[in-house]
Amino acid sequence: MFQANLTSVKIFFFLGFSHYPKVEVIVFVLCLLMYLITLLGNIILISITILDSHLHKPMYFFLSNLSFLDIWYTSSAFTPMLANFVSGKNTISFLGCAAQMYFSLAMGSTECVLLSMMAYDRYVAICNPLRYPIIMNKSVCVQIAAGSWVTGYLTTLVETVSVLQLSLCGHNIINHFACEILAVLKLVCVDTSMVELIMLVITILLLPMTMFLICISYAFILSNILRISSVDGQSKAFSTCTAHLTVVVLFYGTALSMYLKPSAVDSQEIDKFIALVYGGLTPMLNPIIYSLRNKEVKAAVKRLLIRNPFYTALISALNNIGASTLI
């Protein structure tokens, strides 16, 4: 059987959901909506945290990083798929496939580390409130964020290079809608045990280990909250953690089901739908969850709207109309 190195392949073809034409149209519409909402929601959230000085805090600095990460991840995964559906080509070049595989995996890896660092931030804020400004100063926050990005990018570089060095058996048809690393690995006909071992070690470091750190942080947080005598104090402490915990459950639930599922459970169609949730639904819900569950973000939106001259003029006009109606 003819074998070719991955780097010698000029073009790849995506199967996507071509076996189900009606489903493919529905998936396209849903993905387009999720992508647009993700862009809009995360751009608005980043803008609010930059424009409102009340949100210049470590929590919102990390949240801005998360929003930027979600925009980049969704764009790398969904933009080629949406373009291919419109053009009807369902193809991608080798360099495009390698870039998509690298950046989408790097964004997911970075988010694992970043979410665990956000849990640590909540731990310091609730368990050491007096020392919080000292511990989580600007320099430390920048170092933590930079460390998350570097860790995600370096670990992904190791995985991507390991896969791209393998040989194919003349196949260049990817049974997926994107160059997802597990889907590309299925094209390989040589022994992949070493690559799978590398991926397993990195996955364990990035998923269960970071999840363990999050659990430890929230165990200390819960213990501290239960010692608060005031009901209002407990409610406020819980409210600051609820949004982050919701995002953690959504992200890790889909990530674990994709990358650490038993080998006996191997269905490409299920993997595709999990990838849609992992790559589209979670980034779309992140800004919504943080906005709806966060009083500070709501207050910041109101302040920004009130400072807007158009909004102020509109409110004044409405008040005048109301007053004249009463007269």
Length of the chain, in residues:
327
Listed range (55-64, 110-119, 182-191) with the worst mean pLDDT: 182-191
> CATH homologous superfamily for 11-260+267-299?
Rhodopsin 7-helix transmembrane proteins (1.20.1070.10)
- pLDDT at res. 156: 93
- pLDDT at res. 326: 46
Beta strands in the chain (DSSP E): 4-5, 11-14, 91-93, 167-168, 173-174
- Tell me the pLDDT tens digit for each residue of 240-260: 677 778 888 888 887 777 766
Contact 241, 221 (CB under 8 A): yes
Tokens found for residue 102: 């690298």
* % of the chain at pLDDT higher than 70: 85
Mean pLDDT over 110-125 rounds to 91
- pLDDT at res. 325: 45
Q: Is the pLDDT of residue 324 over 60?
A: no
Q: List alpha helices for 52-93, DSSP H.
A: 58-87
| Rounded distance between C-alpha atoms, residue 209 and residue 241, angstroms | 20
Average pLDDT, the chain: 81
- Tell me the pLDDT tens digit for each residue of 159-175: 998 888 877 766 788 88
Grade residue 6 by pLDDT with cuts at 50, 70 and 90: low
| Rounded distance between C-alpha atoms, residue 176 and residue 187, angstroms | 12
Mean pLDDT over 104-116 rounds to 91
291 CB-near residues (< 8 Å, 6+ apart):
41, 45, 297, 298, 301
Q: Is the pLDDT of residue 51 over 50?
A: yes
| Rounded distance between C-alpha atoms, residue 96 and residue 17, angstroms | 20
- Tell me the pLDDT tens digit for each residue of 196-250: 898 889 888 888 889 899 989 988 888 888 887 777 766 766 776 777 788 888 8
Mean pLDDT over 53-67 rounds to 89
Q: Is the pLDDT of residue 2 over 50?
A: no
Q: Are strands 4-5 and 11-14 parallel, antiparallel or unpaired?
A: unpaired
